[in-house]
Amino acid sequence: MKYLHAMVRVRDLEASMRFFRDGLGLVETHRKDYPQGRFTLVYLAAPENPESEVELTYNYDDEDYGTARNFGHLAFAVDDIHATCAHLQAMGITINRPPRDGRMAFVRSPDLISIELLQQGEALAPAEPWVSMPIPASGEHRAWRRGKPPRDGRK
């Protein structure tokens, strides 16, 4: 068995490409348009492991996908979590859980897909503005706001 990809449906392909490609730095590996089926598939991958892809599925006809929580999140290791969050914030992307600990942050794509960013290697020293940045009251990461670690025990 071989892992291939995770698929997420997107409502605005250009906004999603701006987030995943321009914001996170993923690289488009290939794209398939299916005009007869009225959808486009775009495959993206992190430069360090292009064999594991994220498939963006864009349906031409507008559809409300809701905000179901049955899909958890995508996770990416980054070289510098502070610089990555600063870059995303400069693009107007909300940092839903700032990297106060220098190790982990969460953001959301334009389609509200949670993206976990993890510092590669050792955690960076806590730094401003992240240490004092409040967590938006979105309902996301309630356990963190209560000071409890996630279920898997990570710090």
pLDDT in tens, 38-85: 999 999 999 999 999 999 999 999 877 776 655 768 989 999 999 999
Whole-structure pTM value:
0.72
**DSSP strands (E only) in 35-87:** 39-45, 53-59, 73-78
> Three-state SS for 31?
strand
Residues recognised as catalytic: 116
The reported pLDDT for the residue numbered 147 is 42
Neighbours of 98 (CB within 10 A): 22
Q: Convert the pLDDT of each residue in 86-117 to its tens digit.
A: 999 999 999 999 999 999 999 999 988 889 99
pLDDT band at 154 (very low <50, low <70, confident <90, very high): very low
pLDDT of residue 122: 96
pLDDT of 148 above 90:
no
Residues contacting residue 51 through CB under 8 Å, at least 6 positions apart: 45
Residue 148 exposed, middle or buried by CB count within 10 Å (0-12, 13-18, 19+) = exposed
